[in-house]
A and B are shown apart, each in its own frame.
Chain A
Amino acid sequence: MEQKIYDYLLQLGDNSMILGHRLSELCAHGPSLETDIALTNISLDLFGQVRHYFQYAAKLGVAGKTEDDIAFLRYAHEYKNCLLVEQPNTDFAYVIVRQFFYDLYHLHLLQDLTESQDKQISAVAHKSLKEVKYHSRFSSQWMKRLGDGTAVSHEKTQAAVDYLQPYTAELFEMTPVEAELQEAGIAADLMAIKDRWQHDVMELLKEATITYPTNEFSHSGGKKGVHTEHLGYILSDLQYMQRAYPEMSW
């Protein structure tokens, strides 16, 4: 059971870490000072959550790894984040749409995890929920501004939605570990979350005058460790320090 909780914690942490890293790439490159600092704040929130998950995972002691080992010393196929969060910052619309899709998923996920039978997971969810409520407000507001803004912002937002929507189905795929932990009341029921997510996304896209793509095709693989080519580049940045100077610390 502890091994399964360990795997689940890594999966939760990896999503926040890779998305947090993507947002950190925008530090000092945001479209305005105000949005730059907002995105950096969100990135820091996510990294704070990662620390909670990985510290707990390290404490379980199943793999004999420290928090830093877990974060920095795994190979690409050992990261279990969804493909959505590793997609690049192509332009501001992509950043906002990726954030919007993920925030609404994250919000419902954490809401359910506050009820988790695992006290530690429930406590982290309680704390993170406040942060993610703000994230989803931020990205939802921007979706409306961009979608219902100028002809150019509308077109770019629609393009980002069309590109990123096929990556959203994977968020709701249950791995065998998740299914088993959900039986035990520890993990969230992603099927139930999917309905709520779809409802919220549709409502907001309507306000943002954006069309939800009708295609049935979807990408998947990240949760099994099969990633897009982007993850390798992310990890080479993220792991550089620990690989170049093993066991270094602040």
Chain B
Amino acid sequence: MSKEWPIWEVFIRSKNGLDHRHVGSLHATDSTMALENARDVYTRRQEGVSIWVVESINIAASNPDNSDALFDPAIDKAYRHPTFYKMPKEVKHI
């Protein structure tokens, strides 16, 4: 068993925000403790109204070495951007 506590990623939803945003990470032994630590470390200045925590090992991340294959092919495909359409006047809130 490792002597260090596991690392957790913290997501906070701010008062006005609709989505939870990644704000940082911390150490905790379990989810209860992770939530309490997140409250103490990341919401001291009224940053949030809701907290999510997830243990970092549960996050699958893309490998930076594969960036070429993953992301570069999108560069020259401007036709995928929704900028070639005329918006009808009746359509609101977009």
Q: Give A contacts to B, CB under 8 Å.
A: 32-35, 37-38, 41, 134, 137-138, 141, 145
Contacts and interface: CB of A to CB of B under 8 A. Distances in A.
B32 A33 contact: no
A138 B36 contact: yes
Nearest to B26: A34
A134 B35 CA distance: 12
B32 A34 contact: no
Q: Is the interface of A mostly helix, strand, loop or mixed?
A: helix
22 contacts: A32-B5, A32-B27, A33-B26, A34-B27, A34-B28, A34-B37, A34-B40, A34-B41, A37-B40, A37-B41, A37-B44, A38-B36, A38-B37, A38-B40, A41-B44, A137-B36, A138-B36, A141-B32, A141-B33, A141-B36, A145-B29, A145-B33
B40 to A, nearest CB: 4
Interface residues of B, number: 13
Interface in B51-81: none
Contacts of A38: 36-37, 40
Interface in B35-49: 36-37, 39-41, 44
